[in-house]
Each structure stands twice: as C-alpha cells, then as structure tokens.
A and B are shown apart, each in its own frame.
Chain A
Amino acid sequence: MHKVTLDPVTKTLRRGDVPTVINPLDKHALEEGLRIRDEYGGKVTAVNMGREETICREALAMGADEAIQLCDKAFGPGADTLATAYTLSKAIKKIGNFDLVLCGNETVDGSTAQVPPQLAVFLGVPHVTRARKLGFITERKLRVERSIEYGYMIVETSLPAVIAVTKEINTPRIPTVEGILESYQKEVKAWCAEDIEAEEERLGSTGSPTTIVDFLIPEIKRRGEILKGPADEVSRLLVQRLHELGVI
C-alpha cells in the first residue's frame, strides 16, 4: 500500500508501505548540532521515535556520534504533542548530561510546532523557537536570532536549552560515502518504554489530552466553470465573468 490512509474506526493513520523520511527541518537541526560539534567539540546523539531504524541510520550517515531509536507499541499511535514531548523528555533524561537539544521547528505533516516548547517544559529548561541563527556568547550562553513575521528577535538563553530551528539556519551536509560506511559500524540503540522509565499513562493515546473524534470532508460548492479554447477568447470570457460576478 503506497498511500497513507485514515482508519475510519480508530481515526488514526495507516502508514502501510510508505517509507518514512526524516522531517526536512530535523536535518537542519542535526546539521546545526554537527556544525557546533565540529567547531567546539562534544557529542551528537540523534533521537527518533518510530518503528524503523531508517531515520537513525540517516542521522549516523550524516555524522551523528550515536543514535537512539525509541520503539514501543505504547508510544503510539494516537500520541499527541504532549505525549510525544513527554516520551522524548524521558529518553533525553535517560541519556543524561545534555547541553543543547536541537529540533526542527515543525514537521511537514501536522506542522503544529508544539513539540519543542513542550519538550523544554518537561526537561525543565528554557527554549527558543524559530531560530535562524545561533552563536555562543559564553560556553553556557547562546545568542539566538529568532525569526518573526516581517523581522526578528534577538534572544539570549542560558544552557541547557531546547532550540527549534528553521531552514534558514544552515544547509545540511550530504552524507559522504565514507560517512555512510562508517555509520554501519555504529550501533542504533533501541529503547522501549521500560528503558526510559516512562509512566504508561502518559504515553500514546492514553497520555494525550487531545483526541480526534471525527473527520470532515470539506464540502466544496463552487461554480466550477472551466474555460478551454483559444487564449484570446478564454481570457476575455474570464474577465467578463468576474465583472458579472461583481468582483472587479
């Protein structure tokens, strides 16, 4: 099955055979982590919630030092952003000592942009979203340029912190053949709910305050007049129609 469909009974996604891909903004987040490590030192750990290793493998191929796959039936389906952020926070707490958590600002499916701030709350650290530029003021303080509508903010944050990045921040490196081969030597650690000491009632749909109860297919009532023919004629007709409709 090469399409993602909706299960009308459980009201969740049926992913079928559709391959999972890295959320595009997460590549920028990973690249930022690699860039900082290359310049200042440190260790980059990639964390992914999902059933397959592919994302972790891709992260290792790009140059991550370690990768952790959070894989457990209990984590989903039906997990909303709160349950997702909780799960990720338990994994990060298990990893221990961290200075910086980097995320893509939003995903291409839900695009809620909610997980990074919620993750920060559960980790007990500050966060900055829509980061388009990062720089270190001191070892423990970051200066972040945060994009807003028609402009930007300058935010200074102490570390540790969660930073959610936009695509303006960098250009993600393409994995080299060397990098890909090296990555096969690295292990993808698989952690389940018990490994991260997660409380069951805070996971998956049980741990999600929000739930989908229905789907609506928007009813579209439009004139639907399609004009075909010589360009001169259809252009004239279109403008005439708009004049008749009173919009110009």
Chain B
Amino acid sequence: MKEIAEYMGIWVFAEQRKSKLMEVSLECLGGGKQLAEKLDIDLSAVLIGYNVEELGRELIAYGADNVYMIDHPLLGIYQSDAYAKVTADLIHEHKPEIFLLGATSIGMDLAPTVAAMLNTGLSAHVTGLEVDEKRQLRQIVPGFGGKVMAVVVCPNHRPQMATVRLGVFKKPMRDESRRGNIVKVEVDITEDDLRDKTIRMVEEKPKEKPLEGAEIVVAGGWGMRAVGGFKPVRELAELLGASVGGTRPALDEGWIVEEQMIGQSGKTVRPKLYIGLGISGEMHHTVGILDSEVIVAVNNDENAPIFQVADVGIVGDLREVLPRLLKEFEKIMMSG
C-alpha cells in the first residue's frame, strides 16, 4: 500500500492538437487552480508533443506553476501506447495526488489506460470537484440514468483521477507576467515501442456553428417528428445566431451529428439561453443544460420532465407554436 501522504500536487494533462492547446485543458487549469489554492500546493501541467515549447509558456500564463514537457518527434500526434507510458512514468516519479484530464476523444482514451497502469481510480466526465477536510477529492458524476448525482471518492489509491468535460470549469485569465518552471523530460522512444501507431489525424471543420462557447443554443428532440424534422430548429438558430443541439433520439434520426448531442454521453453547454423544442427532458439530456442561465422549453406534454427545469415553457402543439414563435423572434430581432 503506497503512502497516501507522499502524494502531493494537482496535475492537469495539457492536451494539444497540431500545436494548439485544447480549451478543456485550459479550463482544467482553472478548476485545478481552485483545488491547488485550497490545498496550498502546486499546479502542474503535463505537455506531450513535438516543438511545443511555446505551449509550455502558455500553460504557465494560464496558471501552471510547473510544466513537465515531453518534446519528441514521434509524439507530435497522440500515440495511445507511448503517451500512456510516458505519463504513467512521470506520475510514478513525481507522485501527484490529483490528475485531471479533459474528457475528449484523446483524454477518454489516455485516462483509463494510465489509471490501470497505476492501479488507481478514475471518474469519468465529472460535473464537479471538491476537496474535503481529509484532502480527499470528491468527484461528482451523473449517476444511474442521471436522476441523481453520485459523489465518488478514491480513498486508498493515488493519484485520484478524473476526466472533465468542456464547460464544467472556467478558463483562467491569461497572465503573461506569471513565472513558472518548464521541466524538459527526456524520453527514449523508437518506432518499435509503438505497438499501435497513429498514422495521421484528419480534422474537418464543423459544418455548423459548434456548441462550444455558444451564447444561445436551440435544441430539438424526438417531438420534432410532429413537424417533419429539424428545419424549424435550424431556422430559429440561424435567426438568433445560435448553435444547434439535440438529444440522442435526434442523433439517431440523423437530424444532428454526434458533436451536437447534449447530455450525459454528449456535450455540456452553459449558454445564456437554451431553447428545447420537442424535448421531453429526460435527465440523460438535462444534465447537459443545467448551467444555462435561462432554460426555455416547448412541448405538447405538460407532464414532460423538461418543465421541471425550465424557466419559461410553452405547453402546446409544436405545429401551431413553432411558426408563431419564429415570427415573434423575428419581430424582436428586427426591432432590436
């Protein structure tokens, strides 16, 4: 049994793609900073890539006290095997008590691999983190269909690991004057070490305005069947300059792509205005919208759970309401 007390420090995995830091990693620095201040310890970032020295400085500007930087020609792009091994080795050596990663397609691959290598606990897509009087990390996750939040702890293993979704923490202010340490870590990796090798990564521009950072979100669900599909959702979104989102049924119908799905296994949004059309409001979906400033819902079923989380709602037939609603929004957008 490892000595828990030996483990100190908050670490954040600083994910970079094509030499650009991911927003969620910067947000984790924000959340990590709050924990670090409460525990009176350092905040460090792990940065893996190729020719990423500038990113190291950026991480310090965003609040990292230390950056463990692994700069290697074979590691410019995410390599499942190598990134995990390098990260686990670093953690073995430096023993942080908490390790946070963004819940991206890379973070969700790297985190469980590292956790298993270190034989430690990992919570997925946490919606909140706190430390208690015993320095223990309380990890809040959506549980069992989302009707409740579960509080998870990892009492006897270190580091305590968690993946965090975009929008859970706030990105810190950038401060050029901040000082910190960049620790260059040498690693010995050859092609033969990579049992699985990423040959290339192809990123396509999202076809529609992404949900990330959206001020207004218009989302649709199964109820849009009644009006023949998503056209009204997109019309309203365009009018308001909003991003389009939806539920899993909307994804299954092909009305949205995976990146537009909001909920437990999708995105968390925190717009100033969320409008849910034809959405019943099962917790699977609503866990992703609860941080919205104002929640609006339109549904023909007055018992739909969405109305329990709405600020303003319309109970009515979408076929009657949507065209008129669109007109009213048009009027006010023109006069504004």
Chain A hits for B76, CB < 8 A: none
| Chain B residues, CB < 8 A from A248 | 216, 240, 273, 329, 332-333, 336
Decide: A228 near B328, CB < 8 A? Known: A148-B106, A247-B293: no
> Quick check: B206 and A82 within 8 Å, CB to CB?
no
> Does chain A have a CB within 8 A of B57?
no
Given A234-B316, A239-B325, A243-B332, check contact A155 B197 (CB 8 Å).
Answer: yes
Bits for A88-127, please: 1 = Cβ < 8 Å to B, else 0. 0000000000000000001011111111111011100111
Contact B113 A231 (CB under 8 A): no
A40 within 8 A of B: no
Are A228 and B315 also in contact (CB < 8 A) when A148-B105, A215-B150 are?
yes
With beta carbons under 8 angstroms apart, the residue of A110, A114, A239 that contacts B112 is: A114
> Does A178 count as interface, using CB distance less than 8 angstroms?
no
C-beta contact mask, A218-242 vs B, less than 8 Å → 1, else 0?
1010111111100110111011011
A154 touches B199 (CB 8 A): yes
Does the CB pair B196–A242 fall under 8 Å?
no
- Does chain B have a CB within 8 A of A22? no
Q: Is A211 an interface residue (CB 8 A)?
A: yes
- A113–B201 alpha-carbon span in the complex (Å): 21
B154 touches A209 (CB 8 A): yes
- The answer to whether A224 and B320 touch across the interface, beta carbons within 8 angstroms, is no
Which of B29-37, B114-122, B224-232 lies at the interface? B114-122
Are A239 and B329 in contact, with the CB atoms below 8 A? yes
Interface with B: A46-54, A57-65, A156-164, which one?
A156-164
Tell me whether B198 and A209 are in contact (CB under 8 A). Answer: no
Given contacts A80-B121, A234-B321, contact A212 B143 (CB under 8 A): yes
Known: A151-B202, A238-B296. A117 touches B112 (CB 8 A): yes
A27 sits at the interface (CB 8 A): no
Q: Mark B77-119, 1 if CB is under 8 A from A, else 0.
A: 1101100000000000000000000001110110111011101
Interface size class of A (residues with CB under 8 A): 35 or more
B265 within 8 A of A: yes
Measured between beta carbons, the chain B residues less than 8 angstroms from A215 are: 143, 148-151
Q: Is the interface of A mostly helix, strand, loop or mixed?
A: mixed
Chain A proximity of B229: nearest CB distance (Å): 20
The smallest C-beta distance from B200 to any residue of chain A, in angstroms, reads: 5
Are B302 and A149 in touch, CB under 8 angstroms? no
Tell me if A238 and B325 are in contact (CB < 8 A).
yes
Interface size on B, residues (CB 8 A): 87
B151 touches A214 (CB 8 A): yes
In the bound complex, do residue A111 and residue B290 qualify as a contact, i.e. CB atoms below 8 Å apart?
no
The smallest C-beta distance from A139 to any residue of chain B, in angstroms, reads: 16
Which chain A residue has the least Cβ–Cβ distance from B240? A248
Query: Judging by beta carbons under 8 Å apart, are B104 and A149 in contact?
Result: yes
Q: Is the CB of A238 within 8 A of B312?
A: yes
- A226 B315 Cβ-Cβ under 8 A: yes
Find the B residue at minimum CB distance from A119: B116
**Interface 0/1 of B291-334, CB less than 8 Å to A:** 00111100000100001111111111100110011011101110
Q: Closest CB-CB distance, A238 to chain B, in whole Å?
A: 6
Answer yes or no: B155 CB below 8 A from chain A CBs: yes
B314 to A209, Cβ gap below 8 A? Answer: no
- Is B72 engaged at the interface, CB distance under 8 Å to the other chain? no
Tell me if A13 and B151 are in contact (CB < 8 A).
Answer: no
In the bound complex, CA of A121 to CA of B122 (Å): 15
Report the bound CA distance from A145 to B306 in whole Å.
37
A118 CA / B116 CA spacing, docked (Å): 5
Chain B neighbourhood of A110, CB < 8 A: 124
A30 within 8 A of B: no
A–B pairs, 30, beta carbons within 8 Å: A80-B121, A81-B112, A112-B112, A112-B124, A113-B112, A118-B113, A118-B115, A121-B117, A150-B203, A151-B201, A152-B201, A153-B78, A153-B199, A153-B201, A155-B197, A208-B121, A209-B154, A209-B157, A213-B153, A214-B150, A215-B148, A216-B151, A222-B295, A227-B313, A234-B321, A235-B321, A235-B325, A236-B328, A239-B332, A247-B272
Q: What 3 A-B pairs have minimum CB-CB distances, sorted nearest first?
A: A209-B121, A157-B196, A112-B124
